[in-house]
Amino acid sequence: MTAGPVTEDDLLGLLGPLTEWLLSSSFEGTMRCEAIVRDVAAHYGHDVEVTFLADAAILTVAGRTLSFSREPGVPPLHQVSRFKRLVAEIHRGGLSLPVATRRLAQIRAMPARWSKPWQVLGLVCFTVGFGISVQATWQQVLVSAVTGLLVGLLVVAGAGRRRLMLISPFLASLLVTVVVLLLAEQGWIDGGPIQLIVPALFYFIPGDAITAAALELADNRITAGATRLVYSFVVLLVLAFGALAATVLLQVPQSRLFDVTVPGNLGPVLVWGGWVLFALGVMLTFSMAPRDFGWALGLILLTAAVTELVTRAVGDPAGTFTGAFVMTAAALLLGRRPGLPPPYVLYLGAFYVLTPGSHGLRGLESWIGGHEIQGVAGVADMLGLLTAIAVGMLVAAAAVGPRLTRQG
């Protein structure tokens, strides 16, 4: 146990920054964020009241209340790994409150693990790796490399520039769609352009927010869940509007936006190699520590394999549900072990394998292109996959994980 009494002021000095940091990365779910704050407070001998919403939190300690408002996002993964070790030391009783407060401040101040050129390369790998799963062709590899580079430069240029960050999804969609439509006009690509557009925009697709929304709604977190769901659909609409603006800019018919499958010409080794490339992109893009890469890669490959096998056997919803269950169960079980990455670091990349948001964007862009039936089908697929992922994650958390639902 910690030495000496802990005052409310001292505890707020730790829990305030902790709540703020968790809020800025709350796509892991409001339930888990609240549990972490309560557990840390209980270790230091205090009961606290804490409520997380999608972009706000309220913390009350002995009648003193602090409120926070932050934009949630994906936290730097090397910070998440360090934070797991900090919480473990707190629970072992090895850290006094001042030391824990100082350590948390050091974690929050950690710079990005990878420099800007590496981050750009990461987004190229991220785009190409995912693109191969959408369309296993050499044209996808080449187009994704070019569009991924453009998006990588845009994302890195927008870091720390709020105005540019706000319009980055629209600019990226506009730019990528212009490039792909120009290639299509020259007859340099086969099939529909949508499958070549979506991979480069995958970084902006809020799949994690969509699934967090479904989990929170299933747990009766109506405000947080509904807020995330509305936010997610707005982002998808912005991305789709960027594609529409590209057709206006190029003065081409909207019907040029269509989604047609092209037979793959990459062998199985290259297709699975795409997931390795994707995992490398996740590491460089989201600031993962190199020591965590092997575990994250393993879970990506496991999730992809399970989802593929079950989908071929009994269909997409069942495959997605099983993939989500295996992903979550494996991440929670491994994340408990000392020295291994925390669950969020393990399942972030694996979660992208399930890709609910990309179905929604493909559906919206098909709709814009005048293919209403195909567009509605794409959005319906997204909703079905979203439900399958949420239920799979809930079942896995109930089976093997700590209690994430609200108490009482």
> Would you state the pLDDT for residue 359?
45
Q: Which residues pair with 59 in a beta bridge?
A: 50, 66
Would you state the torsion angle of the CA atoms of residues 174, 175, 179, 181, taken in this order, to the nearest 10 degrees? 0
How far is residue 253's CA from residue 102's CA, in Å, rounded to a whole number?
58
Sheet holding 64-69, edge to edge: 49-52, 56-61, 64-69
Mind listing the pLDDT tens digit for each residue in 288-308? Answer: 999 999 999 999 999 999 988
> Would you state the pLDDT for residue 32?
84
Cβ(203)–Cβ(129) below 8 Å: no
Read off the tokens for 15.
């829990």
Q: 287: left (phi > 0), else alpha (psi -120 to 50), else beta? A: left
Cβ(76)–Cβ(47) below 8 Å: no
Least Cα distance to 346 among 356, 364, 332, 360 occurs for: 332
Mind listing the pLDDT tens digit for each residue in 389-408? Answer: 878 888 888 888 664 433 33
> Would you state the pLDDT for residue 123?
96
Predicted structure pTM score: 0.86
Q: 13: left (phi > 0), else alpha (psi -120 to 50), else beta? A: alpha
> Would you state the pLDDT for residue 37?
92
Least Cα distance to 356 among 325, 394, 316, 301 occurs for: 316
The number of angstroms, rounded, from the C-alpha of 70 to the middle of its chain's C-alpha atoms is 17
**Residue ranges of the chain with pLDDT lower than 50?**
1-3, 357-365, 367, 403-408
Number of H helices and E strands in the chain, helices first, is: 16, 3
In 3-state terms, what secondary structure has residue 408? Answer: coil
